[in-house]
Structure 1
Amino acid sequence: MADKKAPARDAGVLVIGLGRFGSSLATTLDRLGQDVLAVERDEKLVAQWSGRLPLVEADASEAEALVQLGAKDFGVAVVGVGTELEASVLITANLVDLGTPQIWAKAISAEHGRILTRIGAHHVVYPEADAGSRVAHLVSGKMLDYIEVEDGFTIVKMRPPKEMQGFTLAQSDIRKRYGVTVIGVKSPGVEFQYATPETRVSANDLLVCSGHADLLERFSARP
């Protein structure tokens, strides 16, 4: 059984809920060397992750539990509970009351997201919807990776259209013609290089491009 209390800390990330989203987030943060503490109330999940993550067994929907484990000392808290709407709202409200500087909360619907925003969540994420949108872009065109950052601004990895192959970026003038920016080029067996006007593109290269999603979709559809 995991400890009921955790030492106070001045920074770090508190991850509440160890479902697929929360466990992936927590393990990645831990691997990156971040100061992370996971909170889970389900005994089976606690047993599964105990010894693999810094972990506390507690019901974060109870305000006193968050106080006892020192939640107010974390700079960032992530509410990974999504399927239980009431618990998600209660946990987020408790974190707001504690004055948590940055609260990220998982939502499973637009209505759920609006509620979380209204009660004080600083960031609301929609993992299922975001994943679906990303996969749709990948399976429908030449994009090899797709990340929408904010307000339509997107970064993609893709193969170069034929009209770029054998030419420098200055010669193909992609930014002027299509409104997208080539950030860098990865050639086989060569380290990633940031793009310059003199960068020459070959058929086997990978491009990292940025721009508005609509413009990138049209550009990636070029033969």
Structure 2
Amino acid sequence: MAEKIEVGVIGLGKFGLELALTLRKLGHNVTGIDTSEERVKSAKPYMSQVFQADGTDQQALEQLSFQDFSYVVVSTGDSMEASILVVLNLQEIGVNKIWVKAISEAHKKVLSKMGVDFVVFPEHFAAKQLAHKLATPGMIEYLSMGQDILIKEREVAEWAGKTLIDLNLTNNYHVQVIAIRKNGAEELDFVPKANQVLEASDVLIMIGQRENLMKLPE
């Protein structure tokens, strides 16, 4: 397992709480704060430490040692002003890595100009995911890398009896097979052997640019 990290989460709404819970499941330590007593009570059974506190209060952040965390994630609901003030407070107390959930393109632009390390716009990303899934049969995941990178699955079908070496998908289509699902199994065989003979019922999991994945024969 990777080295444990200490993460502070400011705002325990749906996004902040889900992030905190996932980090805990991955074995990392998470300290969360929220102004809502109800949200704090709901989060307590699942988090390392959780406090009712206001991220716009710089003194409160210092008292809770947010300056010592590896990362701090800001997810303060629908208030752009509160989010910006929290970021300013974190920068003031010397937090090294600040990640922020944006609520609009304008918010995202301001945060970027403030030098925030990473800005996520969940609604924007989810909309792109859905659009690509609708438009690309077999798509599993859309990766926001600026080049429409997708992960797509395809049954081996007419490629049965061949190997990945025979198919040479990297050179022929500029896509890469990253895993194979054998004969309807749930588990994936990651980094498959290039000389493995493929069966018709196998499913290839491929990554590449959308335009290249769409060129593959159906």
Band the TM-score falls in, shorter-chain normalisation: 0.7 to 0.9
Aligned 1:186-205 pairs, distance under 5 A? 186-188=181-183, 189=185, 192-205=189-202
Aligned to 1:12: 6
TM-score by length of 2: 0.86
Matched, 1:179 2:174: yes
CA distance in structure 1 between the partners assigned to 2:126 and 2:60 by the alignment: 32
CA drift of 1:29 comes to 0.6
Matched, 1:42 2:39: no
Pairing partner for 1:79 from 74, 83, 96: 74
CA drift of 1:161 comes to 5.9
CA distance in structure 1 between the partners assigned to 2:197 and 2:136 by the alignment: 23
CA distance in structure 2 between the partners assigned to 1:73 and 1:111 by the alignment: 30
CA spacing shift, 1:219–1:109, aligned 2, 3 Å: farther
TM-score by length of 1: 0.85
3-state SS in 2 of match to 1:159: strand
CA distance in structure 2 between the partners assigned to 1:105 and 1:11 by the alignment: 17
The one-letter amino acid of 1:198's match is N
CA distance in structure 2 between the partners assigned to 1:157 and 1:71 by the alignment: 40
Q: Structure 2 stretches of 5 or more lacking a match? A: none
How many pairs does the alignment contain?
A: 212
Matched, 1:212 2:209: yes
Pairing partner for 1:104 from 68, 77, 99: 99
CA distance in structure 1 between the partners assigned to 2:151 and 2:199 by the alignment: 18
CA distance in structure 2 between the partners assigned to 1:91 and 1:40 by the alignment: 12
Deviates more, 1:160-169 or 1:71-80: 160-169
Deviates more, 1:207-216 or 1:175-184: 207-216
| 1:15–1:79 contact (8 Å) kept in structure 2 | yes
| 1:11–1:73 contact (8 Å) kept in structure 2 | no
CA distance in structure 1 between the partners assigned to 2:161 and 2:8 by the alignment: 50
Identical aligned residues as a percent: 31
CA spacing shift, 1:219–1:40, aligned 2, 3 Å: farther
Matched, 1:23 2:17: yes
Deviates more, 1:185-194 or 1:129-138: 185-194
CA drift of 1:43 comes to 1.9
| 1:148–1:154 contact (8 Å) kept in structure 2 | yes
The one-letter amino acid of 1:141's match is T
CA distance in structure 2 between the partners assigned to 1:219 and 1:160 by the alignment: 15
CA spacing shift, 1:70–1:31, aligned 2, 3 Å: same
Structure 1 moving runs of 4+ over 4 Å: none
CA drift of 1:144 comes to 4.6
Matched, 1:125 2:120: yes
